[in-house]
Structure 1
């Protein structure tokens, strides 16, 4: 027995500690009393009794898990209904539900590319899309953030017949919006498809929260594929791919993160379906979360903090160093406000920041409390 085989991990952990990059888990209680500006419950539906009640009823009816992969026993009537309603709501012919947004992104990128394809990606895409590119065996060109001209040049100089442009719609670090119309124009000039991760757009942007791709007028286009997560605006768990029927058929036949993964738990499918129905009935929630994000940003900038002007629900506030960002977040939490903390290597620009997420159910009192705590604990 060799008990030194993982000694290298200790050195790696010490290097991260010295750089101020140690990560740790912070289990939360259901009644911790913290004002949550760190999670992604944009519409405030995770604790809505209609949503949690639907999940509970589905668990009692269908059981705690899906029991198998979607192609064996893991597809229920709930999955089929959710796919139909998601596609119809977002304006696409078809949808396919996965156990996570990560799995949905892996499926879309890997199954729609391959050795005979070139992928052009924004430098700020989510880690799941990056991993999809790495697994794709395609030629990958990474271009500057939100630079459609660079994307077009990469498409024009590719060596493969097929090509795909991959982007987030709303980037998860700074919450800025991708130039979707310009990227689509570049794709169409060079016979390429567009894969857009709308995880942070669904429920926030577009008519009644139908997403950034819908807002850009691209929903239902035969050359566009969209991925979404069910764990943010819809307050549940899981992910989905939306697109042309032949794309969805191809994923069912070829996407490894669909074929070899246990299906989404019925309780999560029911919760997401309930949340989607609430959004249909209460479309004002989408506008409300944008208003809250704008108000938080305005007040923080008025306090001379380096807060971004949000395009959706995410607001980033720059910190002077990784250590300062960690301490700032800890001080906020000690004062009753839970904020996110992003540091290298999680951020592509190597700038540490607090990451705040707006929610449609935040009150004026909540907003004032959050601004007061964040400004009073800011590094001096």
Structure 2
């Protein structure tokens, strides 16, 4: 056996022994919220399709029309892969987010890594929440900037790190945080963070992967958590959003001032050196954003979240402090989480079993995600199945 094969087999065996081995589930089509998973119809509470747009007939029709422009963009955006449909989508994103301009990326990971590495480097500082998404963490680590972290949502810890960075250097300081945390469902204290950035001359970058489309202000109802916190382009100058969650399609964007977007066009390597978004995806995204603005999807989602939390509280389920579409139940033990998730699947419900290293050790959880397309009856059915599964697994309720 080669040393490579031996290394691979050993690491995979360790993963299996620790109850951390991951496997694909095969979907017959996008869940909406019913899905055929591994050949069996389930009600899904594991998707990030918060508004049901991934299976919306108008979004699908828009993608089909967009495909007539070509199966792919054929090259990077700056070579010959930028279409009019891309330009229309960027203008729509700027409008929805209340920013001057926007730039498309292949994924949220590429957007975060590309933006961070374009903005800071050696001699600068990146400050991040310890529970940030992996794309923010990786972007900070490989940027060459000094990397500082603070305990989750700890404003005093953040202030200490910003002061430390400013005392050590008169260079750039970038504070990068999730607006809504993908595994906990809680939101960052963005207004206070913006005030600290102003005090220490730092730049605030907000990852709106789970806020875009489902949160906002009266003026910009779909813009995300930064808008919900009352922040404008000046106070939250760098906003990243994904188009594969609430928008139901794929890709991502950075939104901000025209100068920021012009700068990233020149210096963001993950934008410059990759093939552009397929035109069909851009067309689907554009229609999805129009539907976000036209239909009461956000209000329906908020009603479903409130109903879930009301019913779960009445059943004494161990809820976290989340008012977002992400409703985690932290059970701690990886084996218990897998067992409960399996029982739920046998009862007809698909719920994500989240384990380290995605979450910290000892905090394995069920990640229940809600959609505007869920019915109250489906939520009631999930909760009844969940109570039964927890009791059979001897989890205190």
**Shorter chain as normaliser: what TM range?**
over 0.9
Which residue does the alignment assign to 1:11?
A: 10
Distance in 2 (CA, whole Å) between partners of 1:88 and 1:209 is 10
TM-score (norm 2): 0.92
Tell me which of 310, 321, 325 is aligned to 1:298. Answer: 310
The CA distance in 2 between the partners of 1:66 and 1:94, in whole Å, is: 21
What is the CA deviation profile of residues 100-137 of structure 1, one whole-angstrom value per residue up to 9, with x for unaligned ones? 11111111211111112101100010011111011110
- Secondary structure of 1:188's counterpart equals helix
TM-score (norm 1): 0.96
Structure-1 residue corresponding to 2:327? 315
CA contact (8 A) 1:107 1:132 kept: yes
**RMSD of the TM alignment (CA)?**
1.4
> Equivalent of 1:38, from 33, 38, 46?
46
User: Does structure 2 conserve the Cα–Cα contact (< 8 Å) formed by 1:222 and 1:244?
Assistant: no
1:258 aligns with 2:271: yes
Q: How many residues align?
A: 377
Provide the C-alpha distance between the structure 1 equivalents of 2:141 and 2:13, rounded to a whole number of angstroms.
28
- From 326, 336, 339, the equivalent of 2:338 is 326
Q: Distance in 2 between matches of 1:255 and 1:119?
A: 17
8 Å CA contact 1:176–1:310 kept in 2: the answer is: yes
Instruction: Report the equivalent of 1:167.
Output: 177
- What is the CA deviation profile of residues 52-85 of structure 1, one whole-angstrom value per residue up to 9, with x for unaligned ones? 00001111x2111111111112211111111101
Structure 1 CA distance for aligned equivalents of residues 20 and 235 of structure 2:
43
Structure 1 residue 298, shift from structure 2 partner: 2.8
Q: Structure 1 residues 29 and 223, CA, compared in 2 at 3 Å: closer, same or farther?
A: closer
Q: Distance in 2 between matches of 1:330 and 1:53?
A: 35
Alignment of 1:1-380 (within 5 A): 3-30=2-29, 32=36, 33-59=41-67, 61-158=68-165, 159-160=168-169, 161-207=171-217, 208-221=221-234, 224-282=237-295, 284-348=296-360, 350-378=362-390, 379-380=393-394
SS in 1 for 2:298: helix
Cα separation, 1, equivalents of 2:177 and 2:15: 29
Q: Comparing 155-164 with 41-50, which one deviates more in the overlay?
A: 155-164
Deviation at 1:289, TM superposition (A): 1.2
- Stretch moving more, 194-203 or 108-117: 108-117
Match of 2:54, SS state, is coil
User: What residue ranges of structure 2 are gaps of 5+ in the alignment?
Assistant: 30-34
Other structure's SS at 1:359 match: coil
Contact 1:34 1:337 in 2 (8 A): yes
Checking the alignment, whether the CA contact within 8 Å between 1:123 and 1:348 is kept in structure 2 is: no
| Alpha-carbon spacing, 1:227–1:241, altered in 2? closer, same or farther (3 Å) | same
- Per-residue Cα deviation, 1:189-233 (whole angstroms, up to 9, x for no partner): 010000100111111111332211111121322662000000011
The CA deviation string for residues 350-370 of structure 1, in whole angstroms up to 9 with x for no partner, is: 401000111011112111112
Q: Say if 1:87 and 1:350 are closer, same or farther in 2 by CA, change over 3 A.
A: farther
Contact 1:69–1:261 under 8 Å retained in 2: yes
**Shift of residue 329 of structure 1?**
1.2
Query: Secondary structure, in 3 states, of the residue corresponding to 1:42?
Result: coil
CA distance in structure 2 between the aligned counterparts of 1:225 and 1:339, rounded to whole angstroms: 33
3-state SS in 2 of match to 1:200? coil
What is the CA-CA distance between 1:171 and the residue it aligns to? 0.2
Asked if structure 2 preserves the Cα contact closer than 8 Å seen for 1:300 and 1:375, the reply is no
